[in-house]
Amino acid sequence: MREPISITAIASVSPLGQNQEEIWNNYLDEKAFFNFRDVGQEKMWVAPLTGEGLEAVANIRLESPFYRSLDESVLYALLAARSAADRAGWKKGDNFGINVGSSRGATGLFERYHEEFLRDGQSSTQASPATTLGNISSWLAHDLQTEGPEISHSITCSTALHAFLNGVAWLQAGMAGKFLVGGSEASLTPFTLAQMKALKIYSTLGGEELYPCRALELDKNRNTMILGEGAAMACLEKGAVENALAVVAGIGYATEPLQHSVSLSTDALCFQRSMKMAITGIDPSEVDAVVMHAPGTRKGDLAEYNAIRSVFGNDLPALTSNKWKIGHTFGASGMLSIELALLMLQHQQWIPVPYLRNMSSPGRLKYILVNAVGFGGNAVSILLQRPQTP
């Protein structure tokens, strides 16, 4: 890193809630946040928003006639972005950039509008503006009245961490002083769930399971990925900012050579490269922990683990993931992993995977590496450092 980049705030809405204290307390609780519900003609595991999160989203929809036709992915992003900006002390009209993306985008609206087209042979007036790729960042810029640049992208499940990379690049280039980065996903729709089932990566464990997503369990005999939904946003500022939650100590990225559309090699070469880039300048033994992508698939979890073994050798950092608890939130997942890392740094307490009793715990929490990867092997690694106290 050429100069310090500080994370001054983070906010989210997810199955864990939206208040940071509530989210932390839910991480301390070993239960998983899944529902076993009817999807089409069968039951499937999902991790949806509940309670206050749903109520807050519904209230945003009622604020303006413009917001009534927005997809849930945009409303989730609005809720998290407002909270993050407020916590960072950013005001409406401030000059900060926005880069927020989504893997699937306006999933619910797109499926609804397409169903209407198949039924009626014509499309709604709002179908195009409400489902474009730039929909999320454009509405955030409108809502927060920022004068900075606003960017949208979709890089599948590494979308949020690619937004993080872009924010760091803009700040280090001197083209902005502050950037809001993150991801949002509201993909618990019948067609999207059917797509994951068709890939044969979705959990088929029954409704009595305590942990139907077996993320990071390397000897599992089946795929156990489960979809969740939510949004998470972080505020990045140039320099070593007082009261920062963490300092960005390194960034890394790489792309896997494609064998097929969802390929990842057995030793995840893309993760090896991204992690090595992120930890450049420090001894690998200084890395205390890794928040893994680990979505609960047999090959994906093992490939990432093999990559970590390749980078760190026998001196492995402590390993964890939040997918066992809230599922895989696609484009938002990387920033929700950043949130878990920040909470652990703040509280100086480790959150393990409860059914992996033989996993090590870190002796300290100073450096935490966060991983994400998407279809096609687009890997990102972010190294976070606990701020030094006076």
Give yes or no for residue 46 having a pLDDT over 70: yes
Give yes or no for residue 345 having a pLDDT over 60: yes
Give yes or no for residue 253 having a pLDDT over 70: yes
CATH 3.30.1330.10 for domain 5-238, yes or no, is no
Q: Is residue 369 within 8 Å of 271, Cβ to Cβ? A: no
Which residue has 């599922």 as its token pair? 327
- Going by C-beta distance under 8 Å and a sequence separation of 6 or more, which residues neighbour residue 79? 13, 18, 53, 56, 57, 60, 231
**Average pLDDT of the residues in 344-356:** 97
Which pLDDT belongs to residue 51? 86
pLDDT band for position 193 (50/70/90)?
A: very high
Name the pairing type of β-strands 318-320 and 97-101: unpaired
- CATH architecture, range 246-385: 3-Layer(aba) Sandwich (3.40)
Which pLDDT belongs to residue 105? 92
Single-letter amino acid, residue 95 = N
- What percent of the chain stands above pLDDT 90? 84
Helix (H, G, I), strand (E, B) or coil at 105: coil
CATH topology match: 5-238 vs 246-385: yes
**Residue pLDDT, tens place only, 271-294:** 999 999 999 999 999 999 999 999
Angle, helices 135-144 vs 72-88, to 10°: value is: 40
Which pLDDT belongs to residue 259? 61
Which pLDDT belongs to residue 40? 80
Q: DSSP characters for 362-374?
A: -S--SEEEEEEEE
How many whole angstroms separate alpha carbon 282 and alpha carbon 384?
12
Which pLDDT belongs to residue 163? 98
Give yes or no for residue 100 having a pLDDT over 60: yes
Q: Where are the domains of the chain?
A: 5-238, 246-385
Per-chain mean pLDDT for the chain = 93
- Produce one character per residue of 319-329: b if its CB has 16 or more CB atoms within 10 Å, e if not: bbbbbbbbbbb
